[in-house]
């Protein structure tokens, strides 16, 4: 399954095709793909904006389907003869061009670009008049030429004479006729004569009835007039062919004009289809650019009913490259994931998005997704194997310009191993520099997002009273699956729930605390870290150094000296950022700013962290006194 199908962009393109009339515009809309050039994206969005504005102010444009125009022009240029229906198609198209020019001129009073389309539609009024004067419906009209008019009048007069002669013969020979009316058989005028009495009527037998009891005789008295009529009809047919060939040549002479108009009409059909989709979705033009951030305000999934869709507010900036979304099942995590990807994809294709003004969407070199169940019996893939196959492909392709969307990362296998894989994958994505959004239920992944540079938590809101998801994304907060809470509301015993919570989270919490203490002991605290950093000849920076971060030119404090790859962690405006040493310049070393025994946790720890440590220390002292 490709990315367009996963994000349901194929359904958006199907809607666009429904709004278009011409096959050329439908084909172009079906082939829409994200542009990788910023100026092209912005031009395409502006194009959609102009179409939307024109639709809002002047109503539906007089477009046409342009059936088989290419085939008709090719035939005429090759010297072929067009049919009456093909001429009517050309005339209808030229009429539509005139109406469109008038429509665009009205719109052009406030939009010079739309007026330029009107100027591009060339006049072909003389050809249009020639066609409509000569052809009506599927018939060449009498007035198409004076000679055709005269021929048809002569044919009418001769036919009247024949009818009068036949009527007289019928009255005079009523006793031998099997019917009271003359007939036509095989292009000849005849009388229905009883078979056994046919010898009494001079003439030629043309046909017999199905029963054989009646023969149809062309009387000798009308044969000469019939031959004259047939001769006139041959001349009429030749004149009609001459008129059609002459008109076909006239179309060929105007083929370049018609093709140019056709291209403009197809362009307008394409543009107005985008505008009509914008109208239908109540959408607007987002801001778009190469800056790697997202700011979605009141975003809606375009395939969900507007009145039932909870708006999505999501921000990724200030160095945030990844978001882990948590919350209950059926709480809207996957919809949020798809909404972000689909809105970015639409904007990069020049389409308006259903979101509020001020929404910013970044351009992406590729959209890499693992959403949904990829289980395959044919390929012997389990759900977990299918997910891992997709994730492997994503990790092989990802770069710092990618947007990665992963749903239920690490699910479908042993929870411990799945959690480990999830964190390892997130570390790889963070190292790649891509933008990524991930949904998960693992508490360890939430913890990873809290401590990892450039990654933050978000959760889908849940009403604990009604036990219903609210489908609202809350940034900066970690959610929970709410299984224990739901079980409590359903009446499960508190003791059982306590054991469940301990089994689910107790070990993980103890392990996290142990790992933290072991890490601090191994490093010997901030003071020892600083001393070791100063002793390393290769280290360019030490803990506590005051530095300037480029290109933002923001002041920060070194939290962790650079590693073997030349990356260090700097605290800038309260956030830890992993940077290359090349982006950092020393302002003042820590040795000039702090005493030797300075406790850097005062700078680096948050107020809440200091309060927590203080409480832990106090509890420890209390326990020590109790033992004594």
| Range 139-148, long-range pairs (CB < 8 A, 24+ positions) | 139/84, 140/84, 140/240, 140/243, 140/244, 144/240, 144/243, 145/239, 145/242, 145/243, 147/239, 148/236, 148/239, 148/240, 148/243
pLDDT value at position 236?
A: 96
Fold of 527-624: SH3 type barrels. (2.30.30)
Pick the CATH number of 3-124+254-281 from 1.10.1420, 1.10.287, 1.10.10, 1.10.3470: 1.10.1420
Model pLDDT, residue 617: 62
Below-50 pLDDT ranges, the chain: 374-380, 508, 511-512, 515-516, 518-520, 522-523, 525-537
- DSSP per residue over 71-137, as a string? HHHHHHHTTPPPPHHHHHHHHHHHHHHHHHHHHHHHHTTT-HHHHHHHHHS---HHHHHHHHHHEET
Tell me if 324 sits within 8 A of 446, measured CB to CB.
Answer: yes
Q: Give the model confidence (pLDDT) of 362-378 as tens digits.
A: 999 999 999 875 444 34
Answer whether 290's CB lies under 8 Å from 38's CB: yes
Q: Do domains 287-492 and 527-624 have the same CATH topology?
A: no
* CATH of the domain spanning 287-492: 3.40.50.300
Spell out the domain ranges in the chain: 3-124+254-281, 145-232, 287-492, 499-523, 527-624
Are the CB atoms for 307 and 327 separated by under 8 Å? no
Kindly give, in sequence order, each residue whose CB lies less than 8 Å from that of residue 85, ignoring residues fewer than 6 positions away: 138
> Which residues neighbour 10 within 8 Å (Cβ) at sequence distance 6 or greater?
4
């Amino acid at each position: 399954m490709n990315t367009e199908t996963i994000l349901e962009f194929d359904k958006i393109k199907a809607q666009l095709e429904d709004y278009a009339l011409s096959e050329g515009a439908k084909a172009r809309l079906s082939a829409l793909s994200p542009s990788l050039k910023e100026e092209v994206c912005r031009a395409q969005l502006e194009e959609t904006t102009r179409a939307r504005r024109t639709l809002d102010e002047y109503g539906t444009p007089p477009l046409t389907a342009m059936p088989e125009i290419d085939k008709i022009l090719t035939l005429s240029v090759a010297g072929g003869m067009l049919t009456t229906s093909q001429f009517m198609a050309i005339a209808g198209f030229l009429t539509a061009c005139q109406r469109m020019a008038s429509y665009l001129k009205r719109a052009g009073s406030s939009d010079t670009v739309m007026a330029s389309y009107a100027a591009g539609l060339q006049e072909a009024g003389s050809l249009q008049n020639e066609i409509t004067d000569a052809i009506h419906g599927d018939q060449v009209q009498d007035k198409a030429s004076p000679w055709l008019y005269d021929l048809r009048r002569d044919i009418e007069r001769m036919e009247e004479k024949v009818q009068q002669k036949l009527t007289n013969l019928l009255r005079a020979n009523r006793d031998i006729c099997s019917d009271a009316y003359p007939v036509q058989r095989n292009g000849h005028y005849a009388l229905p004569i009883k078979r056994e009495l046919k010898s009494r009527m001079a003439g030629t037998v043309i046909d017999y009835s199905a029963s054989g009891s009646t023969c149809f005789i062309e009387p000798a008295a009308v044969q000469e007039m019939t031959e004259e009529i047939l001769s006139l009809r041959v001349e009429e047919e030749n004149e009609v062919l001459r008129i059609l060939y002459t008109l076909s040549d006239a179309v060929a002479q105007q083929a370049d004009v018609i093709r140019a108009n056709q291209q403009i009409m197809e362009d307008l059909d394409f543009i107005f289809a985008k505008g009509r989709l914008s109208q239908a979705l109540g959408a607007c033009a987002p801001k778009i650019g190469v800056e790697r951030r997202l700011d979605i305000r009141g975003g809606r999934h375009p395939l969900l009913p507007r009145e039932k869709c909870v708006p999505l507010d999501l921000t990724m900036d200030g160095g945030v490259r990844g978001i882990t979304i948590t919350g209950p099942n059926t709480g809207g995590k996957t919809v949020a994931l798809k909404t972000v990807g689909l809105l970015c994809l639409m904007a990069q294709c020049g389409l308006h998005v259903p979101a509020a003004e001020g929404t910013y969407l970044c351009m992406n070199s590729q959209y890499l997704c693992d959403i949904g169940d990829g289980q395959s019996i044919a390929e012997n893939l389990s759900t977990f194997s299918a997910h891992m196959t997709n994730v492997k492909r994503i990790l092989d392709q990802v770069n710092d310009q990618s947007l990665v969307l992963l749903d239920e990362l690490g699910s479908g296998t042993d929870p411990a191993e799945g959690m480990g894989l999830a964190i390892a994958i997130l570390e790889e994505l963070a190292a790649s520099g891509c933008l990524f959004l991930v949904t998960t239920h693992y508490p360890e992944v939430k913890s990873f997002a809290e401590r990892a540079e450039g990654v933050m938590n978000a959760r889908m809101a849940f009403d604990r009273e009604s036990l219903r998801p609210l489908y609202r994304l809350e940034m900066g907060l970690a959610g929970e699956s709410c299984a224990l809470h739901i079980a409590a509301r359903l009446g499960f015993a508190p003791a059982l729930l306590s054991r469940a919570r301990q089994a689910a989270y107790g070990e993980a919490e103890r392990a996290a605390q142990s790992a933290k203490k072991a890490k601090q002991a191994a490093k010997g605290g901030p003071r020892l870290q600083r001393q070791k950093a100063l002793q390393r000849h290769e280290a360019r920076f030490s803990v506590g150094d005051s530095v300037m971060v480029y290109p933002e030119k923001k002041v920060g404090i070194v939290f962790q000296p650079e590693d073997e790859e030349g990356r260090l962690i700097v605290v800038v405006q309260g956030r830890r950022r992993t940077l290359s040493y090349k982006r950092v310049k020393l302002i003042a070393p820590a040795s000039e700013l702090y005493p030797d025994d300075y406790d850097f946790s005062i700078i680096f720890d948050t107020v809440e962290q200091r309060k927590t440590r203080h409480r832990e220390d106090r509890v420890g002292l209390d326990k020590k006194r109790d033992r004594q």
